[in-house]
Amino acid sequence: MKRLFNLILACLLIVSLSACGKQARADSPADKVSNQNRQAESVETTEQTEQEQSAASETAQTKAETENDMAGGQEQQTQGGGNTMTGDISFNFETKSVLLNSGYEMPIYGIGTYSLTGDTCVESVTAALNSGVRLIDTAYMYHNEESVGEAVRNSGIPREEIFVITKLYPNQFDHPETAIEEALAKLDIDYIDMMLLHHPGTGDVEAYLAMEKAVADGKIRSLGLSNWYVEELEEFLPQVNITPALVQNEIHPYYQENDVIPYIHSHGIVVQGWYPLGGRGYTAELLGNEVISEIAAAHGKSSAQVILRWNLQKGVVVIPGSSNPDHIQENTELFDFELTEEEMGRIGALDRGEKHDWY
Ligand SMILES: NC(=O)c1ccc[n+]([C@@H]2O[C@H](COP(=O)([O-])OP(=O)(O)OC[C@H]3O[C@@H](n4cnc5c(N)ncnc54)[C@H](OP(=O)(O)O)[C@@H]3O)[C@@H](O)[C@H]2O)c1
């Protein structure tokens, strides 16, 4: 009887210890971590799914919030279906950069690569990078994205310190996804800092929406337009979700766009000028202009430097093109002098609405 009682007691003890063991295992630190991981994974999966499900417009909205956080002095508004923003664009002359509405910083001077191909392009971009230039403008139509990519990759400069702009041409607007992949492959620099539409054309909105998708996928960081003026922008902006970060238009002392620049700025969009020196075939006349030469002499600078500085003081980013290392270096030395209001006014008075290309 006593043995039977002891046996029952032993069984009860074993059952209770095994239950405690189970409890102990469930509460062990390792299990807690793995439970937390599973929970985190499930949150992440939900977030991923939500992210995947979210349309470009949601991404744009999140971006707009981030932009608001990061944009400091910029005042921005989001309205209705499109994304309307108002704000001031101010250049930081110490860091020589501007904060884009996409949240990324971009240098305010760079090198343009139109008409530079093959080794000439590689050498020019390399010279520019060696002179401290960190902004490079290329395009599908310049047939030199491979060369720009080669110079960037061979430079030894960390990728994130260089800002590369490329553009889709209207003949690519009907297959934008393939065109974006082509640009990524040709440049071969992991991602594209900024992609522009080269000029308005059939399918431009759809092409832009495809670029928005590429932004959501991390292939492109910022978007922009080129050769869009007030009317074109008024029609275009309400149709897209991500406000362009930049508009690149023809701007030089003979074609100043004094009505367009403030309009673009008022939308929180940075302005970049192409043909800053008038463009090939026109540079001699512009650089030889009497007023510009006089101002240049007064500052001990070149005419090119005065024109580039005039652009910067107007809030226009400059991308002069050059294959001459001396010119490339000269075009970076824009921060050791300042044009007076009177000098700005004298150059302003040279405007003659003279366009040097048709876009
Ligand atoms: N989005 C568009 O539709 C569009 C259209 C055109 C251009 N762009 C972009 O804008 C960039 C600039 O335009 P661009 O290159 O055609 O014209 P640009 O910059 O107005 O002028 C380039 C010419 O200026 C000369 N130059 C450069 N720096 C000089 C200096 N310090 N002193 C004397 N001469 C100097 C160059 O000759 P050297 O080589 O001898 O220095 C070249 O002949 C292009 O490269 C391209 O990236 C965009």
pLDDT digits (tens, 9 = 90+) for 241-273: 999 999 999 999 999 999 999 999 999 999 999
End-to-end CA distance of the chain: 107
Q: How many CA atoms lie within 13 A of 293 on its CB side?
A: 8
Closest of 317, 255, 316 to residue 286, by C-alpha: 255
- Tell me: the pLDDT tens digits for 39-90? 333 333 333 333 333 333 333 333 333 333 333 333 333 332 333 334 578 9
pLDDT at site 89: 86
The fraction of the chain above a pLDDT of 70, given in percent, is 75
Other Cβ atoms within 10 Å of 323 Cβ, number: 16
Residues 64 and 83 sit within 8 Å (Cβ to Cβ): yes
- Tell me: the pLDDT tens digits for 201-223? 999 999 999 999 999 999 999 99
Q: From the alpha carbon of 196, which atom of ligand 1 is closest?
A: 1
* Burial class of residue 307 in the structure, from the number of CB atoms within 10 Å of its CB (0-12 exposed, 13-18 middle, 19+ buried): buried
Nearest residue by C-alpha to atom 10 in ligand 1: 274
Q: What's the whole-number mean pLDDT along residues 10-26?
A: 39
Tokens of 81: 């279906």
pLDDT at site 130: 98
What is the pLDDT of the chain when averaged over all its residues?
83
pLDDT band for 279, please (50, 70, 90 cuts). Answer: very high
Cβ contacts of 268 within 8 Å, gap of 6 or more: 71, 74, 76, 85, 86, 87, 89, 101, 243
Please tell me the distance from the alpha carbon of residue 72 to that of residue 313, in angstroms, as a whole number.
Answer: 20
pLDDT at site 26: 33
Q: How many CA atoms lie within 13 A of 327 on its CB side?
A: 16
List of E strands, the chain? 97-99, 105-107, 111-112, 135-137, 163-168, 192-197, 220-226, 246-250, 270-274, 316-318
State the fold for domain 53-348.
TIM Barrel (3.20.20)
pLDDT at site 8: 53
pLDDT at site 149: 98
With a cut of 60, say whether residue 10 has pLDDT above it.
no
CA 275–ligand 1 middle distance (angstroms)? 6
Nearest residue by C-alpha to atom 11 in ligand 1: 112
pLDDT at site 359: 87
CA 249–ligand 1 middle distance (angstroms)? 13
Indicate the pTM of the whole model: 0.80
pLDDT at site 32: 32
Which DSSP letter does residue 190 get? Answer: S
Annotated catalytic residues are 142
pLDDT at site 13: 43
Tokens of 130: 């060696």
With a cut of 50, say whether residue 326 has pLDDT above it.
yes
What does each C-alpha distance from 4 to 8, 15, 106, 238 come to in angstroms? 6, 17, 86, 88
Nearest residue by C-alpha to atom 43 in ligand 1: 280
With a cut of 80, say whether residue 145 has pLDDT above it.
yes
